[in-house]
Structure 1
Amino acid sequence: MNSSKASEAIHRIVVIGGGAGGLELVTRLGNKLGRKGRAHITLIDKARTHFWKPHLHEIAAGSIDVNIHATSYLAQSHWHGFRYGIGEMVGLDRVKKEVQVAPVHDDEGVPITPAYTRAYDTLVIATGSQTNDFGTPGVAEHAIALETPKHAERFHSRLVNACIRAHVQGTDDDPQQVNVAIIGAGATGVELAAELHRAMRTLVSYGLDRIDPERDIRIHLIEAGPRILPALSERIANAAAQLLGRLGIQVRSGTRVTGVTAEGVQLANGEFLPAQLVVWAAGVKAAEWMRGLAGLETNHLNQLVVHPTLQTTRDPSIFALGDCAAAPWLGREGNVPPRAQAAHQQASHVASQIRRQQLGQPLRPWQYRDFGSLVSLGEHRTVGNLMGGLIGGNLWVEGLFARAMYVSLYKMHEVAVHGVWKTALGTASRALTRSKEPRVKLH
């Protein structure tokens, strides 16, 4: 067999989306199959770098620098035996087994890559989720959704500008307030509120002395449901609510938002809440273009419906994982919740199943293992519960131990992507860098 025919015979695996699950998957596949010439693996993503999404609220607050934590897809592909293609998937031809990718332009509109197609034998869709604004007027124009590092950086820039404006324009007799409204009190909203409380006080301590944090900074956390953290246990929610209250954060549960304007937030009860900065963190869904993609089954959130094997219900050559997949929770009613730990487990499972599929072996169902939930409230406290065989049930945790468990979730992701030694060296390097920088990003 000549080299061109041999190349054609190699199994082609295309992964769409380089989030937590997608990047871990192509890294595993590249290490096990790509480097050994057993498969041709391609990652397609419209961004050039990966950032762990649960940390976006820290970029927004200025607590961490995205450039230090981001992973270059191009470098990662070179190191781990897969290919990276820039672009956004916009269509799918299941008959030809081709993914359709939109053209890419730079920020000035100059073309980078034309539209192209990528053939596959196995396709994995891991495009994550986006904010669901439920059609609320003004959200797209006046609120920021923390979906990408760019969104988080834009919010932080506006935050710094708002504080500088209040410092310059305010006087002792007429102080200017900085009002932040966070709509949605899930994990993202709660963690952002707590992180902003610390970061904004640190920010104004760098010479913005006309701002009195206790008097001039207001953070409002708004939740339509009866309590914050609706997806987590009531004990975790109550502990978080008590701490937020002690920090002076205005928590409004059972409050529905009917509109967002340039001046603030309109509530269903008729009240108008002034706010210079509005974050929309209420609800998630898969991208709109995924609805009924190429005849694949989707649900009301545009998620691809999958079997327990994580194969889509209408095409066994297409898998889906992460937030864009409606994966059944075996042994319980409903689907697996959209969590980073679920994507981490699914990536490992799909990697092994693709190999079984190549060998003609039957695929095994994926069983979600819930290790509990943790919520970081910045430097103030971490609360949550741990579950599973490791601790023999359900264990309430808080304080330093809970904080260590929270950090370990990110370290598990880093190890899956970079390995143990690179993770250790990167952690040490970031610690040294932070020791000589301001405690919060000032620009």
Structure 2
Amino acid sequence: MDKLNDRVDQRKADTSKPASHRIVIVGGGAGGLELATRLGDTLGRRGLAQVTLIEKARTHFWKPHLHEVAAGTVDLHTHAVNYLAQSHWHCFRYRMGEMTGLDRERREVHVAPFIDSDENEQVTGQRVFAYDTLVIAVGSLNNDFGTPGVQEHAILLETPAQAERFHRRLVNACVRAHAQSAPLRPEQLQVAIIGAGATGVELAAELHHTTRTLVSYGLDRIDPERDIRIELIEAGPRILGALPERMSASARELLEGLHVRVRTNAKVTGVTADGVQLASGETIPAELVVWAAGVKAPAFLATLDGLEVNRINQLVVGPTLQTTRDDNVFAIGDCAAAPWLGREGTVPPRAQVAHQQASHLVKQIRRRMRGLPVQPWTYRDFGSLVSLGKYSTVGNLMGSLVGGNMWIEGLFARWMYQSLYKLHELALHGVWKSTLGTAARFIARRTVPHVKLH
């Protein structure tokens, strides 16, 4: 009955003004929020379309920076974007909730009741949203491959809340070790990072810096060189396995120079309360364990009224980013298995992919509304960059950006890495607001500790 009432209420609201194309975007990550913002600015503001963003979180944070929240070098609240405010400023509707089902015949998205976990209180009931064009952009999750103990004893860096949880554990561990009179246990102040992709590598470098900064604030009974160890564990033959070998070798050399112990060809078979178990039989003592290995899309995508998914639950889409079994449903970002035109396989799960796909769909949805055919999307690979905190940034620039393939590192690479986030900010806020926000953070940085202490 609640579902029926919500459907009737929505239709009443829709008939109070001239009919317009209904665009529903599910997921407020980098691609979804950029798409909602730009469609709101171009179509929603002029009443040409009704743009709705469905997202279960209240605020948006750029996922590639989660490792910095975990390390404490970035304050989540100075970078978070409030969905409700963003929707007001950019003429789209934000509806809080999590998609649970799809009725393709009726063109309806089913959204579960929203429960405030802190208050254990229901905020909204089950709802149904009608669409003419649906874009699914729910991102990805880490894949623990069913490894015993991961869910109980490790932290996955999928959300800002998880990143903040890890940082609180890190601060608590240092304060506890400083206050105790007994010698440190073998696992105390030991950090194990499982998975040496970009997130794992970047977190390892950041933690080397932040742990030393943290103990410098009066925790003088801890010697970071003696007491703190960071282990980076990778099942494959090298770190950054999806990136060029030169990047892998350079990043490993730098990490080892920071006394981060890098283990490759080391398969994890279990995580316990005080360490990590390897297939070789060795146990690595660790009080803090981060799981940063593997990628999969949310499991509910495999239940969406017959839409095709691959083995890691990604929605299979064609060159136009439309799902293979329904032209009214698009998918972008990490949750989509999009073909890499001109190459074998699908495009990689990167922020630049979601950004390009969102920019492409802004134009294609407008064509679709005019009755024109949707054009295919082509991925332009501009290369890869990996930040190793204050120590260095390494990467390669590719394609039309430099007319070939150019290796970069150091300060220039750091600027290029930061520019990726600035492009995201520009897409959300425009030049003037992005500039003011950057200036405000620069000034505030001079008045607070360089590492978050709580």
TM-score, normalised relative to structure 2: 0.95
Across the aligned residues of Structure 1 and Structure 2, the Cα RMSD in angstroms comes to 1.5
Give the deviation of 1:212 after TM superposition: 0.3
Q: What is the match of residue 92 of structure 1? A: 102
Matches within 5 A, 1:92-111: 92-106=102-116, 107-111=118-122
The runs of 5 or more residues in structure 2 that have no matched partner are 1-11
Q: What is the match of residue 340 of structure 2? A: 329
- Describe the superposition over 1:35-67 as per-residue Cα deviations: whole angstroms up to 9, x where unpaired: 000000000000000000000000000001100
Alpha-carbon distance between aligned partners in 2 of 1:102 and 1:172, rounded to the nearest angstrom: 50
- Per the alignment, in what secondary structure is the counterpart of residue 17 of structure 2? helix
Q: What is the match of residue 131 of structure 1? A: 142
Alpha-carbon distance between aligned partners in 2 of 1:100 and 1:4, rounded to the nearest angstrom: 18
Q: Which amino acid aligns with 1:137?
A: P
Q: What is the match of residue 422 of structure 1? A: 433
Tell me whether 1:51 sits opposite 2:61 in the alignment.
Answer: yes
Answer yes or no: is the 8 Å Cα contact 1:171–1:210 preserved in 2: no
Give the deviation of 1:7 after TM superposition: 3.4
Q: What is the match of residue 375 of structure 2? A: 364
- Per the alignment, in what secondary structure is the counterpart of residue 239 of structure 1? helix
Give the deviation of 1:170 after TM superposition: 4.9
Over 3 Å counting, the alpha-carbon distance change for 1:81 and 1:171 in structure 2 is same
Q: Which amino acid aligns with 1:40?
A: Q
Answer yes or no: is the 8 Å Cα contact 1:221–1:251 preserved in 2: yes
Answer yes or no: is the 8 Å Cα contact 2:177–2:188 preserved in 1: yes
Task: Report the more deviating stretch, 162-171 or 311-320.
Answer: 162-171
Of 310, 331, 343, which residue of structure 1 is paired with 2:321? Answer: 310
Tell me whether 1:30 sits opposite 2:34 in the alignment.
Answer: no
Answer yes or no: is the 8 Å Cα contact 1:290–1:302 preserved in 2: yes
Answer yes or no: is the 8 Å Cα contact 1:224–1:255 preserved in 2: yes
Of 17, 30, 35, which residue of structure 2 is paired with 1:7? Answer: 17
Q: What is the match of residue 71 of structure 1? A: 81
Alpha-carbon distance between aligned partners in 2 of 1:208 and 1:184, rounded to the nearest angstrom: 30
Answer yes or no: is the 8 Å Cα contact 2:24–2:52 preserved in 1: yes
- Per the alignment, in what secondary structure is the counterpart of residue 7 of structure 1? coil
Q: What is the match of residue 262 of structure 1? A: 273
Give the deviation of 1:362 after TM superposition: 1.2
- Describe the superposition over 1:156-193 as per-residue Cα deviations: whole angstroms up to 9, x where unpaired: 00000011111111568999840000000000000000
- Per the alignment, in what secondary structure is the counterpart of residue 342 of structure 2? coil
| Count of residues in correspondence between the two structures | 442
Alpha-carbon distance between aligned partners in 2 of 1:411 and 1:69, rounded to the nearest angstrom: 12
Q: What is the match of residue 20 of structure 1? A: 30
Of 200, 208, 216, which residue of structure 1 is paired with 2:227? Answer: 216
Alpha-carbon distance between aligned partners in 2 of 1:358 and 1:313, rounded to the nearest angstrom: 20
Tell me whether 1:80 sits opposite 2:90 in the alignment.
Answer: yes
Alpha-carbon distance between aligned partners in 1 of 2:55 and 2:164, rounded to the nearest angstrom: 20
Q: What is the match of residue 272 of structure 1? A: 283
Q: What is the match of residue 353 of structure 2? A: 342
Answer yes or no: is the 8 Å Cα contact 1:297–1:313 preserved in 2: yes
Percent identity of paired positions between Structure 1 and Structure 2:
69
Answer yes or no: is the 8 Å Cα contact 1:41–1:83 preserved in 2: yes
Give the deviation of 1:6 after TM superposition: 7.1
- Per the alignment, in what secondary structure is the counterpart of residue 193 of structure 1? helix
Of 412, 437, 442, which residue of structure 1 is paired with 2:448? Answer: 437
- Per the alignment, in what secondary structure is the counterpart of residue 419 of structure 1? helix
Alpha-carbon distance between aligned partners in 1 of 2:301 and 2:188, rounded to the nearest angstrom: 42
Answer yes or no: is the 8 Å Cα contact 2:59–2:81 preserved in 1: yes
Q: What is the match of residue 3 of structure 2? A: none
Answer yes or no: is the 8 Å Cα contact 1:292–1:298 preserved in 2: no
Answer yes or no: is the 8 Å Cα contact 2:101–2:303 preserved in 1: no
Q: What is the match of residue 299 of structure 1? A: 310
Tell me whether 1:159 sits opposite 2:170 in the alignment.
Answer: yes
TM-score, normalised relative to structure 1: 0.98
Matches within 5 A, 1:383-398: 383-398=394-409
Give the deviation of 1:105 after TM superposition: 1.4
Alpha-carbon distance between aligned partners in 1 of 2:334 and 2:184, rounded to the nearest angstrom: 50
- Per the alignment, in what secondary structure is the counterpart of residue 50 of structure 2? strand
Alpha-carbon distance between aligned partners in 1 of 2:14 and 2:37, rounded to the nearest angstrom: 25
Alpha-carbon distance between aligned partners in 1 of 2:297 and 2:217, rounded to the nearest angstrom: 40
Matches within 5 A, 1:97-246: 97-106=107-116, 107-170=118-181, 177-246=188-257
- Per the alignment, in what secondary structure is the counterpart of residue 305 of structure 2? helix
Answer yes or no: is the 8 Å Cα contact 2:315–2:323 preserved in 1: yes
Alpha-carbon distance between aligned partners in 2 of 1:303 and 1:129, rounded to the nearest angstrom: 9
Over 3 Å counting, the alpha-carbon distance change for 1:137 and 1:407 in structure 2 is same
Alpha-carbon distance between aligned partners in 2 of 1:5 and 1:61, rounded to the nearest angstrom: 50
Give the deviation of 1:276 after TM superposition: 0.6
Over 3 Å counting, the alpha-carbon distance change for 1:153 and 1:288 in structure 2 is same
Alpha-carbon distance between aligned partners in 2 of 1:96 and 1:292, rounded to the nearest angstrom: 16
